[in-house]
Chains A and B, each alone.
Chain A
Amino acid sequence: MADPVERQAPAPPVEPAESVVVEPAGTVAGVWWRRFGSATVMIAALLGLLGFTLAVQLKTTSTDSSLAAARQEDLVRILYDLEARESRLRQDVATLEESQRQLRSGEQGRQAALAEASRRADELGILAGTLPARGPGLAVRFEAGSKPISAFRVLDAVQELRGAGAEAMQISGGDRASVRIVASTYFLDGENGSLVVDGRRLTGPFTITVIGDPATMRTGLNIPGGVVASVAQDGGNVIVEDREVAEVSALHKPRTLEHARPVG
């Protein structure tokens, strides 16, 4: 720092002084220099230098952005300010990222809960008979023999299928009318070998379409003294067919609950 100053400060006087001292040796310069006197030349040189530095300084100030011309302590202060600002902004970023993370995890939790809830709703809808279902299963066809198929036999078959893991069932009569079989479904004997299921009259032959494990349900129906055997005893016939895709499309109209309320 000290060196350039020492060099700079004397610079204005030294240059003109040198020119003044040296120039007498020259021929042409010496002539016009003598005409005006040394002081005048000196003044001219000083003013020329002033104009020069003035122009340079003006140019530097106008072209330089503020930083290049700033003093060291100003730069330090600016740097300090910027660092403080940076750390503040960094904190902001961290806070915002944290809240973003929280919101995202909250959203994920909500989505998972929604998916779980809709899965449960589907399951319960199939159980309650309010949603159509499809899947592997059986078609069990009851053909009456000498005696009509009694409601008792059909109920027996339904219970047997439930015991064997049936997940959705429907019963259809000869006129293709179908009734979904749910927990509250009842079977009554009707006239002329017909069957009243949940208040609807079905005529034979009846077909129960059931979704579940076909092998288990077939075994359940065929056990000695079971459904197939009992119907055969009455002279009827039970035809059990495997279905790759059993369609249970009949729907049960849900009852509006008047008294029961969920707990919790």
Chain B
Amino acid sequence: MIAVLALLAGVVLGLWLDPTVPAALQPYLPIAVVAALDAVFGGVRAKLDRIFDDKQFVVSFISNVLVAALIVYLGDQLGVGGQLSTGVVVVLGVRIFGNVAAIRRHMFRA
């Protein structure tokens, strides 16, 4: 409940403040957001599996974001930033799909 409220509060705050993303962050922000989404869906799934652990969620959330940003940064340094960020998005997308499928099984028994 608190998590959903916090999410909504963040969205509202983002829409209301309307900050501009610094140019240096622009390549990493979308990847970080996708990584965080992956962690959130993983958390929801764990909650439904009744194996949710606060500490694990926080650590996975932060490490997801950090690793995703790091990979993109590394890709940029190697000159394959575009391809590597695509790869990261694909991997995270597959994971999100898997998590969502598990959530769906829990909620609809299908």
Contact = CB atoms under 8 A, between A and B. Distances in A.
Interface of A: 1-5, 8-10, 12-13, 36-37, 39-40, 42-57, 59-61, 69, 71, 73-74
A68 to B, nearest CB: 8
B58 A39 contact: yes
Contact of A59 (B2, B18, B62): B18
Contacts of A9: 28, 32, 65-66, 69-70, 73
Contacts of A1: 24, 73, 76-77
The 4 closest A-B pairs by CB, nearest first: A51-B10, A55-B14, A39-B54, A4-B24
Contacts of B51: none
Given A42-B54, A47-B3, A56-B29, A12 B62 contact: yes
Given A5-B69, A73-B82, A74-B82, A49 B54 contact: no
A103 B73 CA distance: 59
A10 B81 CA distance: 20
Interface SS of A by simple majority = helix
B77 to A, nearest CB: 7
A8 B62 CA distance: 12
A14 to B, nearest CB: 9
B87 interface: no
B40 A47 contact: yes
Given A4-B22, A8-B25, A9-B70, 8 more contacts: A1-B77, A5-B73, A39-B57, A42-B58, A46-B61, A48-B6, A50-B36, A53-B14
B10 A43 contact: no
